[in-house]
Chain A
Amino acid sequence: MPDKIKIATTSLAGCFGCHMSLLDIDEKFIDLVELVEFDRSPLTDIKKISDCDIGLVEGAVANSENVEVLRDFRKHCKTLIAVGACALNGGIPAMRNHFTLQECLEESYVDGMGLDNPGIPDDAELPMILNRVYPVQQVVKVDYVLPGCPPPAEMIWNVLSALLEGREPVINARDIHYD
């Protein structure tokens, strides 16, 4: 039996909604696991990515750990797909780009309500927060993007199955017409 196609997934600054949408392919998931093996993913809880065929990245890039994970994904995945609005455009996390980092941190950790021992956390163990939130394709090269918040399960499936069959994925304009 030939090696299964390996897929890794991750959520950077995201809400896991895109992962939920992936799970929404329901019974097709059984077909999927026949064809693929999940590498690093919240579904497997594997922490370190190894060489994969496809990487699915949800969420925007908001801190230094996101950058590290994303670069690791790029390095190990033949095809990298940015999944969902945050990965594509920064989405909800990027709303903080209207404010300075100082303002954001103060609002959360200094002036916020009900804070005990207020102060901006500065433990060296913590990932460094980026000056602003970046979409994935501003940090690494992305092969495909799947728009939507979240992208519908059907679309994720279409794209994955196309890639698995070695076809160029095609998304119809109608499928990403959300309003």
Chain B
Amino acid sequence: MSTGSILQANDASAIVNTVKQVMHPLFDQTYLLQYLIKIQALYACIPPAAIQTLHEKLALTEAQIKSVISFYSFLSIDYQGKYRILFSDNITDRMAGNQSLFHQLSEAIKGADASIDFTSCTGLCDQGPAMLVNGHAINRLDTQRINDIAQLVNNNESLTNWPDNLFKIEDNIRRGDIQLNARAGDGSGIKNAMNLGYQKTLQILQNSGLRGRGGAGFTTAKKWQLCKQSEAVQRYVVCNADEGEPGTFKDRVLFNSSAHSVIEGMTICAYVIGAQKGFIYLRGEYLYLLEHLNDVLQRRREAGLLGQKILGKLNFKFDIEVHLGAGAYICGEESALIESLEGKRGMPRIRPPFPVTEGYKNQPTVVNNVETFWSVSRILLKGSNWFNKLGTKESTGTRLLSISGDCERPGIYEYPFGVTLQKIVEDCGGIETQAVQMAGAAGNTVLARDFDHQVSFEDLSTGGSFILIGGNRNLLDMLTNFADFFKHESCGFCTPCRVGTSLIADTLHRFEKGQGCSGDLQHLKKVLKLMQKSSFCGLGSSAPTAFLNVLENSPDVFDCGMSVESAEIYFDLNAATAEYKKITEPGEKGI
């Protein structure tokens, strides 16, 4: 654990030296985000002297630097305390009671050198409620754990001395199929690819029918082919490990249990497209995997599987660097991720051009999901028939599902495509399941009557998230949670998404308070449809999905939030005049 103590930010010349050390030896603009993450960890804020130094050394304006700081939720100008505690606030955390634990801890550590807040899903949905303390994840929170943590904070105990068992994260692999049961990653996949040559390797991938596992489902072989065909000085391989979709945690498990396979998949890609450099963009919430990943990378360099002359082949050199994210869901969108890799705000780019022709540093770049690379490593060992004999026509093979919510056995399940929702719900021990939230907050809400549908690109597509909603839950709570999530995570670049997500949240909160009206729902529907049609990127166009699903298939969910006072518009005159009454109360004239 790296963060022992927080440095005092009162000595400007000391800060200048520290920041210079952080930038050493590259002093590279495209590392701005990485520098800022390190500075934040050291000072629990980005001190003014640090901004000044970055500005001088990187030839960036202060405004540019501040714009990056303000974009990422884990970076801040204000001091966050020796302990920055962020409670994961996914719907699964709420189901497990994170709100009361949050209040318990807030009360218990009043006056301590600490800050406490909520953050978006931290990918520990199968073992929530969860929190991050200075970026390090703690799972299975309960009153006992909160007491322990409060004591550690109040005793000013350095994070390095906190008991290890607090930070123990479980994999919870519940159901393996051909891929989880196969072993790969020892270099033989790369060897096979090199023996076959890149054309035959692409052919195998093409025959396997592998499609990207991030959600969009673009054919992997086609993506690599397009990248290879593009004219370029350099080509890049990027592994998208910004697993931000609420309810998804398979990438965390893959990195923890088979990082070698993922990196082998990236190396095979590098061989095929002719890349020399690769990145793993690891979401900041998975900070605790960083050391492990760097360790695996180092071991592979030593084994001749990365670096110069891979497997003895003279002109095949390729290395991988891990870049951290800093709490921005939008960076899971591939063009926003590339912007972030370049050290900038994670704003999506206009597509086309797609990253396969103009990606990182405007060079052809393959961006694939962690699971996609992991599958590549297996397909290159076992062959395309081994893979495509399972699944459906358009969705071959198997995929990993991250299952959480109201079920007895949450965790990772591998299923061949085409499995019905009913089967999955039974396997994981769904408790009076009324609905399944597919593909996270941005996905479909599928009611129990539709559980005969299949998981596949043809039917119900998913990036891997599968949240079960039990019979005693109110779907309105889930929608309100998602509305807040999107409002927070919208990057603010385009109006339909920036304003739309706020309007959704405002409306849902009115219903939460029992102040909704039928007019609100009509208006909401209009806003949602407009967002779908006119948003700049996938965030804005997919955010309305769950809301529209519920509005169309189960509108009675909103009934409980309807105001009895007015069928049209709710306006609370008492609340609106409360402030005035207080000001003009006798004896309180405000003078």
Contacts and interface: CB of A to CB of B under 8 A. Distances in A.
A141 B589 CA distance: 35
A130 B580 contact: yes
B584 interface: yes
Contacts of B584: 120, 122
Contact of B571 (A67, A101, A129): A67
Between A128, A138, A140, the greatest number of chain B beta carbons within 10 A of the residue's beta carbon is seen for A128
Contacts of A128: 577, 580-581
Contact of B580 (A101, A137, A140): A101
Contact of B589 (A100, A120, A129, A134): A120
Chain A contact residues, majority secondary structure: mixed
Contacts of B591: 110, 118-120
Interface string B518-531: 01000000000000
Nearest to B579: A131
Interface in A115-132: 118-120, 122, 128-132
Nearest to A137: B569
A139 B573 CA distance: 9
A159 to B, nearest CB: 21
Chain B contact residues, majority secondary structure: helix
A120 B584 CA distance: 7
Contacts of B581: 128
A19 B573 CA distance: 27
A139 B517 CA distance: 12
A175 interface: no
Interface string A136-160: 0111110000000000000000000
B578 A131 contact: yes
A64 interface: yes
B8 to A, nearest CB: 36
A106 interface: yes
A100 B577 CA distance: 13
A105 B583 contact: yes
B583 A138 contact: no
A102 interface: yes
A128 B575 CA distance: 12
Contact of B577 (A64, A119, A139): A64
Contacts of B568: 140-141
B590 interface: yes
Given A67-B571, A130-B577, A131-B577, A101 B519 contact: no
B509 to A, nearest CB: 14
Contacts of B519: 141
Interface string B557-591: 00000000000110101011111110110000111
Interface in B476-513: none
B590 A102 contact: yes
Between B568, B576, B579, B591, the greatest number of chain A beta carbons within 10 A of the residue's beta carbon is seen for B576
A55 to B, nearest CB: 15
Q: How large is the interface on A (under 10, 10 to 19, 20 to 34, 35 or more residues)?
A: 20 to 34
B580 A67 contact: no
A64 B580 CA distance: 11
B571 to A, nearest CB: 4
Contacts of B575: 131
Interface residues of B, number: 17
B523 to A, nearest CB: 9
A102 B583 contact: yes
Between B568, B590, B591, the greatest number of chain A beta carbons within 10 A of the residue's beta carbon is seen for B590
Contacts of B569: 137-141
Given A138-B569, A138-B571, A139-B571, A130 B590 contact: no
Nearest to B578: A131
Interface in A48-82: 64, 67
B580 A129 contact: yes
A120 B571 contact: no
Contact of A131 (B571, B580, B589, B590): B580
Nearest to A68: B573
A102 B588 CA distance: 11
A64 B573 contact: yes
B530 to A, nearest CB: 16
Contacts of B571: 67, 134, 138-140
Nearest to A71: B571
Contact of A120 (B573, B577, B578, B590): B590
A76 to B, nearest CB: 15
A129 to B, nearest CB: 5
Contacts of A129: 577, 580
A8 to B, nearest CB: 19
A130 B583 contact: no
B590 A67 contact: no
Contact of A102 (B577, B578, B579): B579
Interface string A85-112: 0000000000000001110011000100
Contact of B576 (A102, A110, A131): A131
B589 A130 contact: no
Contacts of B583: 101-102, 105, 120
B582 to A, nearest CB: 9
Contacts of B589: 119-120, 122
A67 B573 contact: yes
Contact of B579 (A101, A122, A137): A101
Contacts of A67: 571, 573, 576
A4 to B, nearest CB: 28
Nearest to A74: B568
Contacts of B578: 131
Given A101-B580, A140-B569, 19 more contacts: A64-B573, A64-B577, A67-B576, A101-B579, A105-B590, A106-B590, A110-B590, A110-B591, A120-B589, A120-B590, A122-B584, A128-B577, A130-B576, A130-B580, A131-B576, A131-B579, A132-B576, A138-B571, A141-B519
13 contacts: A67-B571, A102-B590, A118-B591, A120-B583, A120-B589, A122-B589, A129-B580, A130-B576, A131-B575, A134-B576, A140-B569, A140-B571, A141-B568
Interface of A: 64, 67, 100-102, 105-106, 110, 118-120, 122, 128-132, 134, 137-141
CB-based closest 8 A-B pairs: A122-B584, A141-B568, A131-B579, A128-B577, A139-B571, A130-B576, A128-B580, A101-B579
